[in-house]
Structure 1
Amino acid sequence: MTSPRRIATTLGIYVVLAVAAVVTLGPFLLSVMTAFKSPSQFAQEHSLALPRPFGLENFGTLLTGPAQFGSAILVTVAVTSVIVIFQLGFSVLAAYAFARIDFAGRRVLFWVYLAGLMVPNIVLVIPLYLMMVELGLRNTFWGLVLPFMFGSPYAIFLLREYFRGIPRDLVDAARIDGAGHWRILSSIIVPLSKPIIATLTLITIVSQWNSFLWPLVITSGSEWSVITVATASLQSQYNGNWTLVMAATTLALVPLVVLFLAFQKQVVRSITISGFK
């Protein structure tokens, strides 16, 4: 029979978890509810009142009106896709070199490169901006993506540690069969590293999808505006129409939720302790 103390402890844990869930998910639910309200309902009724009726006018205004939010979505998708493909590709190559290729100064070079994690991103904004201006890439697509295409210290560190956990016997057996570095990487390392690669893909997508400071600095106007910058500009364009702003945040949130649901199994697998047979 369960003791009263154990029941009270379990109940307390569930209460804390329920409060944490409400605090975490509450702002997102409020944003979605507001997105389906009309401006008059939002102004006259309580913010927690359900939309009556659920309207799509705000989304129509965003996608077909002068806000050009549809263009911002396409730019964000293109920027995120290019950065994810190139950043993960270069990170995998660099991590394999640091983990499996012996060359002079490998350890020193790795730790020097890893020191980039200690540098705040805000410190790099002005130097990167001046470089892009000198290259004539201000307010261009390549100005948005170029600084983030060639790998990241965080991704390289995680991939290197994961690659080092793969048994050396598998790699040595492949070398005996005549496999080179490219064959080992594509046939052994990458297939066994799908969970961590999927996790890094999700992290990179989220970080680039939500990127605000660099797109704000390097672009002007609406031609290369991304979702975050377009959402911020809605407040001034529409005189604080919060139903429209919440509709924009809802549109920006939906792809991330879908990605998380698609990748959640891989994310869980990447952070659990597993062995190789």
Structure 2
Amino acid sequence: MKWIRTLAIYLFLLAGAVVTLGPFLLSILTAFKTSGQFAQTNALSWPDPFTLDNFTELLTGRAEFGRAIGVTLLVAALLVAAQLVFSIMAAYAFARLEFAGRDIVFWVYLSTLMIPAIVIVVPLYLMMTEAGLRNTFWGLVLPFAFASPYATFLLREYFRGIPQELVDAARLDGANALDVLVEIIVPLSRPIIATLLLITVVSQWNNFLWPRIITSGNTWRPVTVATASLQSQYNGNWTLVMAATTLALVPLLALFLIFQKQIVRSIAITSFR
């Protein structure tokens, strides 16, 4: 009976892997086919012959997908840097500095996680429009550039676990609050900071709703909006759409391959700490 249970577990895991990886395999296979091959063959059949025409059209044709990738990289890089800096400072203040109403302010700030993102879209849009930032780079970035409640919470809990003796020793040596943060807290918090870096990169790379609302035209649209626009722009040319999704997947896949050990560690930190 034990081998039957083991077989059932493996079959269940195999089915889960197929359901999870199937869409990615379909996207990659379709990206290397011509429109004729896609229409005449099975969706999961091997491309014969392989073609790079879809990628060439995306990067050099009127789709301007290369520009969308550049915009996304720029936005993601700036938002990752800004969110980490502000979240680290906010978490340090909530974890180590003493001021009136600290815990009340923290829990009120954390409670904003309970507010659905869709609720603040209209107010944000009106604010950006009144400021003349609609369809601009700063309109994409500013609403997400400051501290994240989720990141602040994780960092605060991690900072509170750092021994107070280290902080006291640094203060006896004449270190001020900023020195303690930069020279003691941040170096000891590299695992959680790396975790938040990965989470922020993925979330900003996949952000769709706000860029879709605040941008128009091709100038500042990221890859998510550019991919969605291809379906109407090219009359359902699925080989081109799948090539776009494959290109959008490459940076995240590279990130996973480079930081796979850190990703596993990040799952442990965010789940159990």
What's the TM-score bracket when you normalise by the shorter of the two chains? over 0.9
Q: Does 1:227 align with 2:223?
A: yes
Superposition deviation, residue 174 in structure 1 = 1.5
Q: Does 1:259 align with 2:248?
A: no
Q: Does 1:121 align with 2:121?
A: no
| Paired position in structure 2 for 1:135 | 131
- Give yes or no for contact 1:198–1:263 (8 Å, CA) kept in 2: no
Q: Secondary structure at the match of 2:25?
A: helix
Q: Does 1:177 align with 2:159?
A: no
Name the amino acid aligned to 2:181: L
Gaps of 5+ in 1: none
- Give yes or no for contact 1:34–1:42 (8 Å, CA) kept in 2: yes
Residues 271 and 173 of structure 1, relative CA distance in 2, 3 Å threshold: farther
Cα distance between partner residues in 2 of 1:270 and 1:219: 33
Superposition deviation, residue 271 in structure 1 = 4.3
Cα distance between partner residues in 2 of 1:270 and 1:69: 32
Superposition deviation, residue 90 in structure 1 = 0.2
Q: Alignment RMSD, CA only?
A: 1.2
Residues 191-237 of structure 1, C-alpha deviations (whole Å, 9 max, x = no match) = 11111111111111111111111111111111111101111111111
Superposition deviation, residue 10 in structure 1 = 2.4
Superposition deviation, residue 266 in structure 1 = 2.0
Residues 27-57 of structure 1, C-alpha deviations (whole Å, 9 max, x = no match) = 1111111100110000001101111111111
Q: Secondary structure at the match of 2:73?
A: helix
- Number of corresponding residues: 269
| Paired position in structure 2 for 1:74 | 70
Q: Secondary structure at the match of 1:240?
A: coil
Residues 68 and 272 of structure 1, relative CA distance in 2, 3 Å threshold: closer
Cα distance between partner residues in 1 of 2:245 and 2:186: 35
Q: Does 1:238 align with 2:234?
A: yes
Q: Does 1:85 align with 2:81?
A: yes
Question: Matches of residues 23-102 of structure 1 in structure 2 within 5 Å?
Answer: 23-102=19-98
Cα distance between partner residues in 1 of 2:132 and 2:21: 43
Superposition deviation, residue 121 in structure 1 = 0.5
Cα distance between partner residues in 2 of 1:59 and 1:103: 56
| Paired position in structure 2 for 1:206 | 202
Residues 129 and 27 of structure 1, relative CA distance in 2, 3 Å threshold: same
More deviation, 249-258/173-182: 173-182
Cα distance between partner residues in 2 of 1:127 and 1:266: 37
Q: Does 1:8 align with 2:4?
A: yes
Name the amino acid aligned to 1:117: L
TM-score normalised by L of structure 2: 0.95
| Paired position in structure 2 for 1:154 | 150
TM-score normalised by L of structure 1: 0.94
Residues 65-98 of structure 1, C-alpha deviations (whole Å, 9 max, x = no match) = 0011111111111111111110111000000100
More deviation, 247-256/198-207: 198-207
Cα distance between partner residues in 2 of 1:93 and 1:261: 30
Gaps of 5+ in 2: none
Residues 148-207 of structure 1, C-alpha deviations (whole Å, 9 max, x = no match) = 001111110111111111111221222222222112111221111111111111111111
Cα distance between partner residues in 1 of 2:80 and 2:244: 23
User: Percentage identity across aligned positions?
Assistant: 69
| Paired position in structure 1 for 2:16 | 20
Cα distance between partner residues in 1 of 2:29 and 2:85: 39
- Give yes or no for contact 1:215–1:229 (8 Å, CA) kept in 2: yes
- Give yes or no for contact 1:199–1:263 (8 Å, CA) kept in 2: no
Q: Indicate which of 81, 103, 108 corresponds to 1:107.
A: 103
Cα distance between partner residues in 2 of 1:207 and 1:181: 31
